[in-house]
Amino acid sequence: MPIDRFRRGDLVADRFRLDHPLGGGGMGVVWAATDIASHARLALKVIRCDGEPSPAQRKRLVLEARAAMIVQHPNVVRVLDVVESPAGEPVVVMELLHGKPLSGLLEGGAVVSPRKLAQILLPVVAAVAAAHARGVVHRDLKPENIFRVYDGARRDVRVLDFGVAKLSERAIGDETAVRTAAGFAVGTLPYMAPEQLLPGGRPDHRVDVWALGVIAYECLAGRRPFDADHAAGLIAAIRRGASCPRQVPPELARLVEQMLAFDPARRPGLPEVYQRLSEHLVQRVPATRLAPTPARAMVAAAAAATGRKTPRGLRLAAMIAIPAAVFLAGFAVGWYSAGASDAATTPVPERRHEGRPRRAEVVGELVPARPLTDW
Ligand SMILES: Nc1ncnc2c1ncn2[C@@H]1O[C@H](COP(=O)(O)OP(=O)(O)O)[C@@H](O)[C@H]1O
Ligand SMILES: [Mg+2]
C-alpha cells in the first residue's frame, strides 16, 4: 500500500492526526484518524498514487465526496468534509466505520442464505435507489464497497466509495464535472454490465441493478456468475448466461437472473427489487421445529391418528389426540375469533409458485424474520 506521502502521526489541516491505514482500493487509501480538537475518531481518505496526484485524480476525489454528500442516506457512508493536506491535496473526512467489507464474508466461496442476503442487500438497494433519485449512479458496486458495520450490538450496512460515480448535471450543477476523465477505468470488470463493456453502449443507472445482480448471485452461489480477466472474455461469458444453483429458491433465482438481463430494459427497477427481495426476510422452518400452537397441534394430532402405527401405538395416539383435538378446536375457534396473532396466524406474504410446490414449501411455514440487526 503506497502510503509514503502520508505517515502515521501526520497532521492534516492542522487538526486530523493520521493513526493507521484501514484499507484501500484502486484509488484511495483510508486512514483511521483523530480530530485533535474534539478527540473524535474519524476516517480520512487520501489519493493513492506514486508521486504527485494528477488534477483529474484530485477532481475525482472531490466529486466522490460530493456524490456521497448529495445522496445523504443512512446506508451511505457519511462524508463530513473535504480538507487539504499540507501538500495541497484534497482529503475526505468521513465517519469511521467499525466492521468489514462484504468481500470479507464471501472469502473462500462462502454462501449466504436468502434471508441473510436480503438483510445485507436491502439497505444497499435502498441507498442506491436514493442515489438514483438524486441523479447519482454509483457505477462501482461490488462486495469491497459494501461495508457491514458492527457497532456494539447494532448491525448495519453502508455503501462506500462513490469514486467513479456519475453525477447528473441536475445533481452537480456543473456540466464539465459530469464527464469522466479520459482513460479513467469506470467500474470493476466482473461487476460491469454489458453496456459498459461494449463499444457504443449507453450505460445509465441500470448498470447498478446489474452489479447488484452480480453481487446477489455471488452471495448465493459462492462464485461470480461471469468471470474473465478482459472485457471480451467477460462479454462472451455474459452471452452464455448464468443460472443460479438449484438450492436457490426459484423466485429468488428468477429475480437475480432478471437483474442480469443483457438488455437493461428487461431488468427490474430498484423498487421492485426491494419488494421481491424483502420476501426473503422471512425464513422457512420445518413445522416440527416450531413451538406448538393450536393449529400445528391439531395437524400433528391428525397425523398421529391416521399414521401407520402399531395397534398399541394407535390406541395411545388416539387416546391423547382425540381429546386434545376437541379441546384445541374449541380453543382455536376462540383464538381466531379474538383476532389473536402469533407466528402461525400472522398473515404471510403472498408467494408466486410455478407448477407444484416443492415438499419443503408444503411442510414448512413462514415465520416473521428477526429484526434487521440480527446478522
Ligand atoms: N469510513 C470508513 N471507515 C472504515 N473503513 C473504511 C471507510 N471507508 C473505507 N474504508 C475501508 O477502506 C477500503 C477502501 O475504501 P474505498 O473508499 O473503497 O477506496 P477505493 O476508492 O480506493 O476503492 C474499504 O473497502 C474499507 O475496507
Ligand atoms: Mg473501493
Ligand closest to the CA atom of residue 21? 1
Q: Of 18, 19, 30, 140, which is best to mutate to test ligand 1, by the most ligand atoms within 8 angstroms of its C-beta? A: 30
Q: Which atom of ligand 1 is nearest the CA belonging to 26? A: 22
293 pLDDT tier (thresholds 50, 70, 90): low
Q: How far is the CA of 82 from the centre of ligand 2 (A)?
A: 18
The arrangement of secondary structure in 99-278, i.e. its CATH architecture, is Orthogonal Bundle (1.10)
Q: What are the catalytic residues?
A: 140
Q: How far is the CA of 244 from the centre of ligand 2 (A)?
A: 26
Q: Is the CB of 249 under 6 A from ligand 1?
A: no
Task: For the chain, give every residue range classified as CATH 1.10.510.10.
Answer: 99-278
What distance in Å separates the CA atoms of residue 107 and residue 101, rounded to the nearest whole number? 11
pTM, whole model, 2 decimals?
A: 0.75
Kindly tell me if the per-residue pLDDT of 325 is higher than 70.
no
What distance in Å separates the CA atoms of residue 15 and residue 91, rounded to the nearest whole number? 12
What distance in Å separates the CA atoms of residue 146 and residue 160, rounded to the nearest whole number? 6
Closest CA to 126 of 179, 178, 73: 73
Q: Is the CB of 286 under 6 A from ligand 1?
A: no
Q: How far is the CA of 209 from the centre of ligand 1 (A)?
A: 22
Sign of CA dihedral 143, 110, 272, 197: positive
For the beta carbon of residue 374, count every other beta carbon within 10 angstroms.
11
Task: For the chain, give every residue range classified as CATH 3.30.200.20.
Answer: 2-95
Q: Is the CB of 279 under 6 A from ligand 1?
A: no
The tens digit of pLDDT for each residue in 158-212 reads: 999 998 898 876 665 543 333 343 334 478 999 999 999 998 889 999 999 999 9
Let me know if domain 2-95 sits in CATH 3.40.50.2000: no
Closest CA to 281 of 361, 367, 197, 163: 367
